[in-house]
Copies of this chain bind each other. A is one copy, B any other.
Amino acid sequence: MKKIKETPSCLTCSIAKTCIFKTLPTEELEKIEYEKTVHFYKKNSIIYREGNRINGFYCVNSGVVKLYKTGLEGREQIIRFGKPGSIIGYRSILSGELACTTAKTIEDTVACFISGAKLIEMVTKHASFAMELMKLTCKELGESNKYILDIAQKTVRERLAEILILLIENFGIDDDNVLRILLTREELANMVGTATESVIRLLSEFKADNVIELKGRKIKIMHLEQLQKISNL
């Protein structure tokens, strides 16, 4: 409501443990601060599109971004989310390829754009930054590989439970055990890799089994252990 469209500062931003810039010296942060451009996106805005060349990357300051690939009949496959502190779009800069996903906001979002040249400069000049970035990429790669296994071998039911756990880990739950992210049934389906109807049916089942409670898009976690059991670890 009262959010002011204020330019976020890299110096205060980079304090967070999860921030990729955390090892950079202050003078470098100041240079980024000076060079970056800040963008304000309304919900459902596209930041960049799969297949396009992007000449920089984005650091999400507030809001949530879904990164998805588009399949043959236009069905989306959500690969991951960007949330405050995440960087998105860096993969294609580093690999020298076109963007492999579309980035679309699912909430009003503020993101800072930093040029690819600057990214490469930082990698070249600061070995600790290069290590951090590599660590991030390798973790992401591990997650993607894990998901290949899941999607190839697990049932939709197991995957849905797993996705819910993943969302809990990523976005947390509030005091009332309600998941701190609101997704449409279709978006859930596009994460799990299944049909919307299947997600609806399975959520109903979970609810009937008292594993979760549903109120619109709010999902309240009643029994995390149950979810874990359903997901098969």
Contact = CB atoms under 8 A, between A and B. Distances in A.
A148 B144 contact: yes
B142 A91 contact: yes
A131 B140 contact: no
A145 B75 contact: no
A120 interface: yes
B97 A153 contact: no
How many identical subunits does the complex contain?
A: 2
A84 interface: no
- Residue of A69, A96, A149 with most partner-chain B CB within 10 A: A149
Interface stretch (A105-113, A122-130, A214-222): A122-130
A139 interface: yes
A144 B141 CA distance: 7
B133 A123 contact: no
A69 B153 CA distance: 11
